[in-house]
Amino acid sequence: MNENSCSFHNEKGLRDGQVESVCAAYPPPYDKDTSALRALRGIPISELKNHGILRALTAEANGWEPRVVSAEVLRAQEEWEAVDNIRTETGSQASADQPGQLISFNEALQHFQTVDLSSFKKRIQPTIRRTGLAALRHCLFGPPKLHQGLREERDLVLTIAQCGLDSQDPVHGRVLQTIYKKLTGSKFDCALHGDHWEDLGFQGANPATDLRGAGFLALLHLLYLVMDSKTLLMAQEIFRLSRHHIQQFPFCLMSVNITRIAIQALREECLSRECNRQQKVIPVVNSFYAATFLRLAHVWRTQRKTIADSGFVLKDLEVLAKKSPRRLLKTLEIYLAGVSKGQSSLLGAQKCFGPQAPHSKDLTFTGVCDLPPHSSEGTWLI
């Protein structure tokens, strides 16, 4: 019998699909390698590349050398090598705050409650200064003053609005990542600078440049909107409306303008009555922001507004919001109650009203603070 041949026996084993290879004179080939692989069998797949096993299996076993490497293989190898290197540009350390971990509104708020904001607090003007007849009229017919015990909370809101976005702060980075993931449905972190922020409705690749007049409070409001299960549905519907081929608008820039309206309403004491009733400031401001955004989306959809109408829509919205904040808040309550029952739908079925509109980058946008009297032209908010 040839010494390299093997006899096959045990017919029962063959019927069961089991084949035994018997070489009388020689041990099984690659016995040492087989033992090594058996010893490493329990190693997780994510650790195999650290032991060089994948390379050994693909390039060295049986002396096989790959001749042609396709583009798909090269791309897969690059992605594999990057598995352990996924990081955001927040400068955070692994334990401080894992880049992939979402952050809640309360956690982000707690961050601002614990850090030193004294330099920013010096800049705030808690209320509008009135003189002459305006002061007398406000005293006689205006809203009540905010209770003394709530003024510190009000000042915190206004102080956060003075803070900018710091890309080196891990909490700031996590807030941005959470907003991006919740709106887009992405599972992965993204760079803090890049064209992908324009897809969310920022003016450019750096969201920090679009927060003028609202500061980090604008991002906290977006975070509040996307981290509550009921308001998240509303945010996603408005986001879809903002991407409509006719009625598109820059979602995040519009949100920043609504935060501005909320800041002005707070400073003008339009929200004081509701804050005094609830004995809270931050939840009232958050709800007022969400209710105002809901009203804007309703007007935008039902009246078929376009980007050319943005400045006028925001001006009218500001007047209504300051005049009837309780009315807006009640509308939000009804909407959210319907969402909890699975009945509310802000947008419903979208219809096309003509040919494709230009991409939003080619359009202009007028912010609530940028529209001069009797102006018919808008500019991107900066």
β-partners of residue 22 are 7
What residues have CB less than 8 Å from 227, skipping those under 6 apart? 102, 104, 105, 178, 182
> What are the tens digits of pLDDT across the range 132-190?
776 666 676 667 899 999 999 999 999 999 999 998 999 999 999 999 999 999 888 88
Domain boundaries, the chain: 105-341
In the chain, the largest separation of any two C-alpha atoms, in whole Å, equals 117
Query: Is residue 300 a contact partner of residue 249, using CB atoms and an 8 Å limit?
Result: yes
Q: How far apart are alpha carbons 295 and 125 in whole angstroms?
A: 28
What residues have CB less than 8 Å from 257, skipping those under 6 apart? 214, 314, 367, 368, 369, 381
Percent of the chain with pLDDT over 90: 51
Query: Is residue 247 a contact partner of residue 305, using CB atoms and an 8 Å limit?
Result: yes
Long-range pairs of 79-85 with CB within 8 A, sequence gap ≥ 24: 80/49, 81/49, 83/46
- Determine the length of the chain: 382
Radius of gyration of the chain (CA): 30
Long-range pairs of 218-222 with CB within 8 A, sequence gap ≥ 24: 218/161, 218/255, 218/256, 218/259, 219/165, 219/172, 219/175, 219/176, 219/179, 220/105, 220/108, 220/109, 220/160, 220/175, 221/255, 221/258, 221/259, 221/262, 221/286, 221/289, 222/179, 222/252, 222/255
**Predicted pLDDT at 66:** 44
Q: Which run of H or of E encompasses 376?
A: none
Which 3 state secondary structure label does DSSP give 159? helix
Q: How far apart are alpha carbons 269 and 126 in whole angstroms?
A: 9
Q: Scanning the structure block, which residue is given the tokens 């490493």? A: 40
**Predicted pLDDT at 84:** 41
Per-residue pLDDT at 273 exceeds 90: yes
Q: How far apart are alpha carbons 182 and 232 in whole angstroms?
A: 8
> What are the tens digits of pLDDT across the range 292-307?
999 999 999 999 999 9
Q: How far apart are alpha carbons 164 and 63 in whole angstroms?
A: 59
Of 253, 336, 322, residue with least CA distance to 292: 322
Which 3 state secondary structure label does DSSP give 157? helix
69: left (phi over 0), alpha (psi -120 to 50) or beta: beta
**Predicted pLDDT at 344:** 62
> What are the tens digits of pLDDT across the range 41-91?
555 555 555 555 545 444 444 444 444 555 566 566 555 555 444 444 443
**Predicted pLDDT at 74:** 58
β-partners of residue 7 are 22
Per-residue pLDDT at 269 exceeds 80: yes
Place 119 in a pLDDT band, splitting at 50, 70 and 90.
very high
